[in-house]
Structure 1
Amino acid sequence: MEAPRGKVQTVLGLVEPSALGCTLTHEHLSHCATGKPFQPTTPPGHEKYTDAPYTLENLGWIRQYPYSHKENIIFCGSDVQQAVLDDIKLFKLNGGGSIVENTTNGLNRDLNFMQKVSVETGVNIIAGAGYYVAGSQSTSTLDNSIEYFAGVMKRELLEGASGTTIRCGVIGELGCSWPLHDFEKRVLQAAGLVQSELKCPVIIHPGRDENAPEEILRIFTEAGGKADKIVMSHLDRTIFDRAKLLEFASMGSYCEFDLFGIEVSHYQMSSKVDMPSDAQRISFIHSLVEEGFEDKVVIAHDIHTKHRLKKYGGHGFSHILLSVVPTMLNRGISQTVIDKILIHNPAQWLAYNISY
């Protein structure tokens, strides 16, 4: 099958880029990754809370240590999927149009559920092909070659993934650690090969170090991939120096701030990092806009645990539309620029290139 030139591949088929509307570029609707890589150390003296019931009384602790609460990281099953479905219906009512679902091999994606959500809500869902971090993979998967990984990605994009005929519309999120695992490097090289052939969009989960995004971009482009078809995720927990952020933006990839709604400074996955607030995320985006990078910014929430869904006391998938956008306007980011960030930039990225 040929790549869909000039179109966007959703789980229900091809659509025009102009049909996407407001697009969240980094979310999860369902995954079953209850162990690695979501298994940080529980702080001493807090062990009794890991098996505690999910109640309002415990919600404050869960928000502080989301990956230590065993029930909170179970993001699959009928109850969670109903909560997600209800949340996406609200996203649609609040002006949402499309969601890029970043669950890849290693996180146990559910393409049939993605299709169900799209049918019942009218929201376009774009599924991700490829592999998450090395720590989420089996030993047999880790040993495969660049050519093998490239073949899997092509099949998932052009024929169907996870034993279905549902086609993915983006490569990623491709999971990278710091330092980069050899398996992850081979996956990046495979993605570069596939992207150079199919002209498809790619999205990356960088390692937790300010040097990781640049290293990833170098490996990907040396393999033949194009920087202008990459979204580099999680920059709001990765690059904190504005000069370094601007330097990275100048390399040509899309810069994604995708942890909107997380307002707890304690970051379990890296004790050296102070998680920024939504206000700080907006400030970094404002800096990029002022320096001329408004065409290279995309945003999302990266929802993948229960506590961030509305049913479980969270902000839900409408948080950006209901709360972040008004604050952006209040901070001097124009509606025109916001439309670029939420509508035009995702559409430009997600459309398979017609030429180059």
Structure 2
Amino acid sequence: MSSLSGKAQTVLGLVEPEQLGCTLTHEHLSMDYSSFFCPPSPGQEPLSEGPIQMKNLFWIKQNPYSHKDNLLLCQEMDAVREELLHFKAAGGGTIVENTTTGIRRDMKTLKKLAEETGVHIIAGAGFYVDSTHSSQTQAMTVEQLTGIIVDEILHGADGTDIRCGVVGEIGCSWPMTASERRVLQAAAHAQAQIGCPIIIHPGRHSDAPFQIVRILQEAGADVSKTVMSHLDRSIFDTKKLLEFAKLGCYLEYDLFGTEFIYYQLEPDIDMPSDNDRIARIRMLVNEGYEDRILMAHDVHTKNRLMKYGGTPYYRLIAKYHGEGLDPNVFSYITSPALPLWEQPHQLQ
């Protein structure tokens, strides 16, 4: 265990934190999101089929989960490789890849992308939301789930010797299911054993992040080494957000580039614009949370790629260095502020 302390574990092995460079903490490079297909409105069914083309691109951008081919990011490795090269050329160093069991994690592809682009890639261990849990996963105890997560980090995932470097994204729904609660508890137990960070996908409700932190704390997790993802679609009330920030986890705004007229996965949520995200981050900085903020894009569908006119992985580096966000704040956001490995107290 001592060999992991203070290190970052990439798919190519351990590196020193100072080697990571600008780091995006919530992206996907290869995944299958077809489990979340949303049937289109009556009369629009033909738009769900066929390839992405210029003539249907606007509809896909507003209905990304209703186009079957769009949900198969795993088919676009050449395009993703090109994007990673642009990311590196723009000053990017590391991608934390949040694809977990249930949405087609591909460790061999992640290793190949790291080798071919020179970008550090850190893979995520664990399980996504309940709707992707197999019957075997749903039947497992917390102890069994913990064993799998620990094994994915210490020995390798998905039948390979390629190791994950973080736990997550751990998927939670609203309301949380019993299987998700066990996975969440297992993530906490794994962290307590080996000292790795946890990245959470909260349910789409403003109370979900609070519930998750409470469960993690009760299970022995270190909340200060936990990232709460997707806050830009979870907590909108300023008072409630500041109340959550006091709990001490990392505050992640990771949907930059995602601007919907209608959010298919939760129609009651009005997806903010990037300007809204920046305003919320400025508020958090002014309240003293600049060293707790993380930013990313959460690319997970084809239309988010440059190939289809989407937001590139390097956008946060290229865009916000020059558009008024304090460079000192930006350095907190994109440098490896998150302690990727830290020796657990009981193992010191």
Task: Give the TM-score of the pair, scaled to structure 1.
Answer: 0.94
Superposed CA offset, 1:258-309 (max 9, x none): 0001122321100001110100001111111000000100010000100010
**Contact 1:104–1:132, Cα closer than 8 Å, also in 2:** yes
Pair 1:158-2:158 in alignment: no
Q: Give me the whole-angstrom Cα distance separating, in 2, the residues matched to 1:325 and 1:209.
A: 32
Alignment identity in percent? 49
Superposed CA offset, 1:5-44 (max 9, x none): 110100000011111111010011101232x2x1223222
One of 333, 339, 344 as aligned partner of 1:341: 333
Q: Give me the whole-angstrom Cα distance separating, in 2, the residues matched to 1:32 and 1:342.
A: 27
One of 107, 110, 131 as aligned partner of 1:111: 107
**Contact 1:39–1:67, Cα closer than 8 Å, also in 2:** yes
Code of the aligned partner of 2:339: W
Superposed CA offset, 1:95-127 (max 9, x none): 100000000010111111111111111110000
One of 32, 53, 66 as aligned partner of 1:55: 53
**Contact 2:114–2:121, Cα closer than 8 Å, also in 1:** yes
Deviation at 1:47, TM superposition (A): 1.4
Deviation at 1:355, TM superposition (A): 4.6
Q: Give me the whole-angstrom Cα distance separating, in 1, the residues matched to 2:327 and 2:320.
A: 12
**Contact 1:6–1:354, Cα closer than 8 Å, also in 2:** no
Code of the aligned partner of 1:338: F
Q: Give me the whole-angstrom Cα distance separating, in 1, the residues matched to 2:336 and 2:148.
A: 30
Pair 1:321-2:317 in alignment: yes
Superposed CA offset, 1:169-228 (max 9, x none): 000000000000100000111111111121111100000000000100110111000100
Pair 1:243-2:239 in alignment: yes
The 5-angstrom pairing of residues 160-179 of structure 1 reads 160-179=156-175
Question: Secondary structure in 2 aligned to 1:31?
Answer: coil
Superposed CA offset, 1:215-246 (max 9, x none): 00110111000100100000000011111111
Q: What is residue 98 of structure 1 aligned with on the other side?
A: 94
Question: Secondary structure in 2 aligned to 1:98?
Answer: strand
**Contact 2:94–2:119, Cα closer than 8 Å, also in 1:** yes
Q: Give me the whole-angstrom Cα distance separating, in 1, the residues matched to 2:178 and 2:142.
A: 11
Code of the aligned partner of 1:343: S
Q: What is residue 144 of structure 1 aligned with on the other side?
A: 140
Code of the aligned partner of 2:341: A
| CA RMSD of superposed structures (Å) | 1.4
Code of the aligned partner of 2:199: I
The 5-angstrom pairing of residues 1-356 of structure 1 reads 4-34=4-34, 36=35, 38-77=36-75, 80-327=76-323, 330=324, 333-345=325-337, 348-353=338-343, 355=345
Deviation at 1:2, TM superposition (A): 5.9
Between the two proteins, the alignment pairs up a number of residues equal to 346
Q: Give me the whole-angstrom Cα distance separating, in 2, the residues matched to 1:42 and 1:256.
A: 30
Q: Give me the whole-angstrom Cα distance separating, in 2, the residues matched to 1:172 and 1:142.
A: 17
